[in-house]
Every structure is written in structure tokens, then in C-alpha cells.
Amino acid sequence: MHEFMLALTATLYLLAVVLLYLSIRHTAPGSRKASISIASIAALLHLLTQAQLWLGAEIAQISILNVFSLCALTAVTLLLGSVLFRRSLFDAGLVALPIASVALLAEWLIPVPATVMETHSTAVTIHVFSSITAFGILSVAGVYALFAALIDYFLRRHHLNRLIRTLPALEVLEGLLFQLIAAGFIVLTVSLATGLLFVSDLFAQHLVHKTVLSILAWLVFGALLWGRHFRGWRGRLAVRLTLAGIGLLLLSYFGSKLVLEVLLGQSWQS
């Protein structure tokens, strides 16, 4: 049943992104609302599949793909929640929805080692979910940075196709980008602070690389927010620093976990 739900949810995400693309191209009236509705159903199913893993018992068996899937769900949930406000972020679903679908299919089809996690530990729970929420928020910021870079590229070449013209103005995108970075930076700060509560020995728990990379990402986003406020940083510099921060988080969250658990067969708890 769990495998069926993963496959069904992945399919619904793909259908939603096709409808979203058609709505952006203005080739299918009503397809945006249909995309939002289908993506909402898929997100609910996605939530149920994750709840079975994370909340089903006091001892959870969690793999790198489960974490990746939960990060994807967080990003999709943020996009769906944004449709309730004046500045919707749902167009970023062109990237986020396919990634969520890939995450579910990978979770279904690829066997990887799992880590035992005590879900009743408050410090660990807060750290894990704040880390995932921070990555979800900042990954959406990364998508908007890519959109901003794409628009800037075509503006400089005086060539705007129909798809690019349907995206928000560059100034609007940059405003949304920095709002997302500010929110993600706050949650990432919580994640790093709560991480200190349960880490007893960075070297024994194999957390040195993860911690250092997370702190570097935190410094990059902090510097970007400082530069925006005091120096007016924007454009290509903002995009590059955003993508650099996302790259560091990817290495921290998934690169170190991939090497430690999949290649070396170890765990941060051992």
C-alpha cells in the first residue's frame, strides 16, 4: 500500500506540473486551478506517506531518500500555501513539482540503508524538522534565483519568449527571493542552535563535515542579507550567492549523509 501511494503521488505531481505549464503558456483555460487542486491532493498523500515513517512508532527507520522526500514535500507545501496570498509562489512548481515526483519515485524504487532515529527525543525532532523546513524554504528561494537569472539573461539579449514574459517582473522576483532567504535564514539558525543540544562529540558522531558546511551556508545567507540591507546587493551577485548557499546545504544535508550512510555504512548516532 505504501509503495502504491508513492507511485500515485508521483504521478499526480507530474500531472500538476503539466497543467501548470499549460496555464503559464495560456493554452488551457482553468488549468492553473486544476494544477493547484491536483498538487494539493498529491501533497496530502505525500504527507500521509511521510507520517507513516516519521510518526508511526517511537523508533523510526529513516533513509537519505526519506529526508529528501520530506524536503520536497516542505517546498511543495510552501508553494501551495502561498496561493492564499497576493504574491503566489506557485509558478516555482515548474521545478519543485518534478523534483518532488523524482524524490517519491526514488524512495519507492531505490533501496538505501536506513538510520534508526528515536522520534520521542524533543531536541532531535526539533532539529530535524527545522533543518528540513529551512532547506525547503531556501530551495524555493533557489528556484526563484534561477528564474531571476533566466529573466536577466534574456533581458540582456533583448529576447523574451512567451514563457519568460508570463513570469513576474525581475524586481518582484528579487523581492520574493529575499523574503524567502530571510525566512529560511531564521529557521536555519534555529536548526543550528538546536543541533548543539544533542551533539555530544562531532568527531565520534561523524558530524564535522555536515556542521561545517551548514555553518558556511548560514554565513553565506547571512552575508547576502547584510549586503542587501546595507549595500543594496541584487542581480547576478544575489543569484550567485543564493545558489552557492543552496549548494553548501545540499552538500551538508545530502552529500555528507550519502557518503556516511550509503558509501561507508555508518550513522551519525554511532
- Whole domain around residue 166: which residue ranges? 121-270
Instruction: Look at residues 120, 146, 161 and tell me which one is the last residue of a structural domain.
Output: 120
Same domain, 263 and 150: yes
Same domain, 55 and 188: no
Q: From residue 259, give the alpha-carbon distance in Å to each of 29, 61, 249, 262.
A: 47, 18, 15, 6
Q: Which three cell numbers stand for residue 62?
A: 529513516
Same domain, 18 and 110: yes
Same domain, 142 and 159: yes
Same domain, 94 and 128: no
Greater confidence (102 vs 29) lies with 102
Average pLDDT over residues 74-83: 89
Q: Which three cell numbers stand for residue 100?
A: 518532488
Same domain, 106 and 126: no
pLDDT of 202 higher than 50? no
Note whether 17 and 94 are within 8 A (CB). yes
Same domain, 135 and 268: yes
pLDDT of 48 higher than 60? yes
Same domain, 108 and 127: no
Beta bridge partners of 247: none
Same domain, 248 and 218: yes
Instruction: Look at residues 120, 146, 166 and tell me which one is the last residue of a structural domain.
Output: 120
Instruction: Look at residues 102, 120, 138 and tell me which one is the last residue of a structural domain.
Output: 120
pLDDT at 165: 65
How many structural domains is the chain composed of? 2
Average pLDDT over residues 245-270: 63
Backbone torsion region of residue 61, taken as left when φ is above 0, otherwise alpha when ψ lies between -120 and 50, otherwise beta:
beta
Q: From residue 175, give the alpha-carbon distance in Å to each of 41, 87, 225, 231, 254.
A: 29, 10, 12, 15, 29
Same domain, 130 and 171: yes
pLDDT at 207: 58
Same domain, 11 and 139: no
pLDDT of 219 higher than 80? yes
Same domain, 39 and 156: no
pLDDT at 200: 53
